[in-house]
A and B are shown apart, each in its own frame.
Chain A
């Protein structure tokens, strides 16, 4: 099975210049793989570096050393050393990311927030909005909310918009940071179904989930992040 994500000895340290240059090592020696069609869950206590790893793979955080291989258009690309342009291409064509909180852009209607990744990739607006509508319906967002900007929504509603936006494109890799955190049981089940569907479609997924039940439902493998703890 092709490794869609392949980390080898990846490392991250924060240097806090505003606190006198204090160095906070986060992780080191991170090595694992994620294959197509499987869902790997990162486990470990708060602060162990799960989110940081996810963000490094998306290019949102810098990787200080090591190698982050991404299978992109049939070629392995090292994201740790990639140029910004390259990272933008990877995000557009290969890696999707569902963050923990929706970053609400003012004035944009929920349905357009969800449709945007498809439109950015060249899809026609009506088609993209149809897809967005389908997902919003799955996630139980009432139609009267679709034309409103999500900044006024509840936390749970915002997160569902976020998930819809993350799931709408057909990207081969998906990174999920606490996708079910603020959801009720009904919607948690919907998200699990969506993840299953992606698995069947061959998408490689790397997720962070705290809920044991959800982890059991979606994880094919669990990677314990504490094994990558940077020595104090």
Chain B
């Protein structure tokens, strides 16, 4: 069994190096560079059209960059340029070491298949061949995301929005990924449901030592979930740093505008 990199928590897990993405003359992302470490949650905030979703797709190898590169440290400790991975490797990574949580859970789930099968699919994809083991693992994950285990054989079509989103989480986390990408994970949910989901996310991130990149337009979500934050505007990162520092002591004009625009409750 390959030994996990306990000593190498000091080495970055994901490195973006002058990433650019152009669509014709439009620069959707410009010169984005940063490093992400194990157990860190990075929030990418910005308004619509800032390029944050494009950036998330570049980082998760769903889009190829126009310039620059993204490197990821595989489980064997070797740093690999994502562009150099073969399609089979990339898809394998996406199913095992990475998670991707969509804003709309229906995009990240098989709606017509039972919850247990949704959670178990990744396991079956990596060769688990014992029905009882798969089902028991699915049960324990449903408990962890606070879904009543009695619903394991129901299809997510019968679930509420909040339950679907929690099921999407379970489906992504069952293979114990080290890096999770989240695209507006609480978008579209009722406020009380959001609170519950955020609480769950916080706990899971801590317990599993997950690294996560969370795209959100909601600064409160960023403050609650993330250690570090990047503020994007017009495809560029205009400010970045510790989340509480950037939100409490914003330096750039745009950041100050964003922070001051939050309506008080």
A and B pair up: yes
Q: Which residues of A contact B257 (CB under 8 A)?
A: 17-18
A53 within 8 Å of B by Cβ? no
Q: Give CA–CA (A59, B224) in the complex, Å.
A: 17
- A106 pairs with B199, CB closer than 8 A: yes
Q: Which residues of B contact A84 (CB under 8 A)?
A: 227-228, 241-242, 245
- Majority SS at the chain A contact face: mixed
Q: Which residues of A contact B260 (CB under 8 A)?
A: 18
- A105 pairs with B224, CB closer than 8 A: yes
Interface residues of B in 61-107 (CB under 8 A from A): none
Q: Which residues of B contact A106 (CB under 8 A)?
A: 195, 198-199
Q: Who on chain B is nearest to A52 by CB?
A: B249
Q: Who on chain B is nearest to A87 by CB?
A: B242
- A18 pairs with B242, CB closer than 8 A: no
Please judge, given known A-B contacts A60-B249, A61-B249, A105-B199, whether A88 and B206 are in contact too, CB under 8 Å.
no
Q: Who on chain A is nearest to B37 by CB?
A: A85
User: Which of B's residues lie within 8 Å of A, judged by CB?
Assistant: 37, 40, 195-196, 198-199, 202, 206, 224, 227-228, 241-242, 244-245, 248-249, 251-253, 256-257, 260
User: Which of A's residues lie within 8 Å of B, judged by CB?
Assistant: 14-18, 55, 59-62, 84-85, 87-88, 105-108, 119-120
Q: Give CA–CA (A106, B223) in the complex, Å.
A: 13
Q: Which residues of B contact A18 (CB under 8 A)?
A: 253, 256-257, 260
- A55 pairs with B248, CB closer than 8 A: yes
Q: Which residues of A contact B249 (CB under 8 A)?
A: 14, 55, 60-62
Q: Give CA–CA (A85, B39) in the complex, Å.
A: 11
Q: Which residues of B contact A87 (CB under 8 A)?
A: 242
Please judge, given known A-B contacts A18-B256, A87-B242, A105-B224, whether A60 and B248 are in contact too, CB under 8 Å.
yes
- A16 pairs with B256, CB closer than 8 A: yes
- A60 pairs with B40, CB closer than 8 A: no
Q: Give CA–CA (A58, B36) in the complex, Å.
A: 22
Q: Which residues of A contact B251 (CB under 8 A)?
A: 15, 62
Since A61-B248, A61-B249, A84-B242 are in contact, a sample of 18 more A-B pairs with Cβ atoms closer than 8 Å, ordered by chain A residue number, is A14-B249, A17-B252, A17-B253, A17-B256, A18-B256, A55-B249, A59-B242, A59-B245, A60-B245, A60-B248, A60-B249, A105-B199, A105-B202, A105-B224, A106-B195, A106-B199, A107-B199, A119-B206
